[in-house]
Amino acid sequence: MPELDRILLTSALTVLGGVSVYVLGQLVLHFFISPVADLRKGVGEVADVVIFYAHIYVNPGVASKEISDEAAQSLRRAAAMLRVRAHAVPWYRLAAILRLVPRREAIHIASRALIGLSNSVHTGQPSNILKLQDQVRKALSLPEI
């Protein structure tokens, strides 16, 4: 094989290999790493909503209707987005085994508890509200509130 052909073949294989590695990396990034990162961000957003509106849902009926409605809507949106983001993670079971994401059951427990908090914003039992808040915290491994 002539020297020029070997150089061109080597260059072409090098470029093809580089493009293949790049494409594979992008596929892994977009189909696995990004959804996991989005779910972890969603868990952080849940923590934010639970802490930010705690003074409203722990004291049902004390805040104005507008603020209570906002808190209820934010809690319910957090519950929905948590499930949506969990559903978007491929190979969820593997990610949970690797402890990259909470177990799927924990996501469902937290989501149900967030919906319960949302329903309790206007009229709820304080003991039940604190129980729901604790379920969210434990399910998602959040620090004490």
At 86-120, the pLDDT tens digits run 999 999 999 999 999 999 999 999 999 999 999 99
pTM for the model stands at: 0.83
- Do the Cβ atoms of 104 and 96 come closer than 8 Å? yes
CA atoms within 13 A on the CB side of 11: 6
Q: How far apart are CA 68 and CA 122, in angstroms?
A: 7
Sorted by sequence, the CB contacts under 8 Å of residue 36 that are 6+ apart come out as 89, 95, 100, 101
- Among residues 104, 94, 12, the alpha carbon closest in space to that of 112 is found at 104
Q: Is the pLDDT of residue 145 over 80?
A: no
